[in-house]
Amino acid sequence: MGQDGGFRAEEIDTSRPHPARIYDYLLGGKDNYEVDRRAGDELAAAAPEVRIGVQANRDFMRRAVRHVVGAGVRQILDIGTGLPTSPNVHETAHAVAPDVRVAYVDNDPIVNTHAGALLSGSGTTSTVLADLRDPQAIIDHPEVRKVIDFDEPVALLLVAIVHFLTEADEPERIVATLRDALPAGSFLVLSHATSDFADRRDAEAVYNQATATLNLRPKAAVMRFFDGFELAEPGLAQVPFWRPDAPSPAGSETIGIYGGVARKSA
């Protein structure tokens, strides 16, 4: 981060597509560059359901946030925040309980700056530039600690981020490190891309030129991220079918994103 709280130009790689900006483009946002739009169009050509998929993922996140806040959780650690897309996590949470505190974590300086600008002045949120691949640094980060008390239940959001971790990153160890920092009564909200419903190797190839690779995983592999948690009904489901509150859009059965919400019991 720059001294003024902004980012230095050299930190932003606009020569290669970036997941946060591709996702923003697919959601209809404006915080993206030509390389990101091209990658987004290639992705939509390789996986036609991707546009309804990203919207369904976002809607899943909002239903899951309402669920965990409704269950009494008052602190949310959202890792892989993405560029602000209203309603954001804190807006969704505050509609249920205005005293919810949210720590937003992302490794993209653009996300960090936009989220920081959007949320400045609010004592109940903090925005942190950090990387999921170093989970202990997130747990120990003073800006995270400002709003998250690890002695009280926390909802950990890992929504559409773990598929950017390769096997070499040891994603199960990373999720387990975060889980072990959470007290009983905490929740994990996780969504993850898969090719269980269609061959999506072409979609993975688009990300191979991006700043993060896409690592599609089958259901059994995604289930392992919930070790130590108890999944709430209906278990790990395609995101449009996790407790839908409106009719699912046509083509929803082809959406290759799993989502689940689970509670840590001990």
Ligand X SMILES: C[S@@+](CC[C@H](N)C(=O)[O-])C[C@H]1O[C@@H](n2cnc3c(N)ncnc32)[C@H](O)[C@@H]1O
Q: State the residues that interact with ligand X by CB under 6 A.
A: 19-20, 23, 57-58, 61, 80-82, 106-108, 111, 131-133, 159-161, 164, 212
Residue 219 C-beta: closest distance to ligand X, Å: 19
Residue nearest to ligand X (CB): 82
The string of DSSP letters for 141-152 reads -HHHHHH--TTS
Provide the strand spans (E) within 82-229. 101-106, 125-129, 155-159, 187-193
85 vs 28: CA distance, rounded Å: 9
Residue 83 C-beta: closest distance to ligand X, Å: 7
Q: Which is nearer to ligand X, 159 or 184 (CB)?
A: 159
Q: Which is nearer to ligand X, 15 or 184 (CB)?
A: 15
Residue 85 C-beta: closest distance to ligand X, Å: 7
Residue 266 C-beta: closest distance to ligand X, Å: 28
Query: Angle between the 19-26 and 109-119 helix axes, to the nearest 10 degrees?
Result: 60
Q: Which is nearer to ligand X, 48 or 183 (CB)?
A: 48
| CA contacts within 13 A on the Cβ side of 92 | 23
What residues contact residue 212 under an 8 Å CB cut-off, 6+ apart? 18, 19, 164
Q: Which is nearer to ligand X, 55 or 186 (CB)?
A: 55
